[in-house]
Amino acid sequence: MIPASYPAQDDIARLTAGMLLDIKAVHFNSTEPFTLASGLPSPTYIDCRKLISYPRIRSTLMDFLTVTVMRNAGLESFDNIAGGETAGIPFAALVAERMALPMTYVRKKPKGYGRNARIEGEMRESQRVLLVEDLTTDGGSKISFVDAIRETGAECAHTGVIFYYGIFPETEKTLGDHGVALHYLCTWWDVLAEARRRQAFDGETLAEVEAFLKAPRAWQDARAKT
């Protein structure tokens, strides 16, 4: 069922940040940084996959994602909802249910046997596809998924995510240059603001997180050298 209400984007961002803190999907550690997939250090880590285990929060955020995409892209802008393997698959299914649209998913790479397909489910030529994922950092993985969708003859000009890092200025340009608009619920800045309001972490940790968010590459370079 398509949600009937359209909360203001600022309210969506604040509420989403709060729910991510509620389920402890947000991790801050300034003394023992996390290692990202890139191999670089970070004092922040977020696990949006935890949302699938919290049905009330999961449902609310999927309502938020659906109305955000429809508000930004239009009510009749899509024919198919595609999830990116693996984290995007459950969220794509939930958004597709709300929009009453077919759902598919995109593999990171061909499975290597059978049809050697990257697209699972039925995706037709000229369909307008919304790519759904849990989060985006620099937008790189989205490009690969979008290209796989376009290889079918379908169109993909939009991607919707729950969480967007919001600290790498090249991200939206990278996607925009590829013809893809990014829609999201909240960023690290929203989470930091809500964490401060709640006093969810000590002041030293929050200050270190802010330093990272303001200059992530410099922070990583300094830590990588030690």
Q: Tell me if 123 is assigned to some domain.
A: yes
Amino acid at 195: A
Residue whose structure tokens are 């940084």: 33
Output the pLDDT for position 167.
Answer: 94
> Considering its fold, how many domains does the chain have in total?
1
Q: Tell me if 93 is assigned to some domain.
A: yes
Tell me the CATH number at 185. Answer: 3.40.50.2020
Q: Tell me if 36 is assigned to some domain.
A: yes
Q: Tell me if 1 is assigned to some domain.
A: no
Banded model confidence at residue 3, pLDDT cuts 50, 70, 90: low
CA distance linking residue 220 with residue 197, whole number of Å: 26
| Domain ranges, residue 171 | 9-224
Q: Tell me if 2 is assigned to some domain.
A: no
- Is it the case that residue 39 has pLDDT exceeding 90? no
Q: Tell me if 44 is assigned to some domain.
A: yes
- Is it the case that residue 44 has pLDDT exceeding 80? yes
Banded model confidence at residue 225, pLDDT cuts 50, 70, 90: low
Q: Tell me if 54 is assigned to some domain.
A: yes
Most confident of 54-58, 115-119, 134-138, 214-218: 54-58
Token pair, residue 35, equals 């290692």
Residue 44: strand, helix, or coil: strand
Kindly report, residue by residue over 91-133, the tens digit of the pLDDT.
Answer: 999 999 999 999 999 999 887 776 768 999 999 999 999 999 9
Kindly report, residue by residue over 55-98, the tens digit of the pLDDT.
Answer: 999 999 999 999 999 999 999 999 999 999 999 999 999 999 99
Q: Tell me if 21 is assigned to some domain.
A: yes
Q: Please write down the long-range contacts of 214-218, taking CB distance under 8 Å and 24 or more positions apart.
A: 216/42, 216/167, 216/168
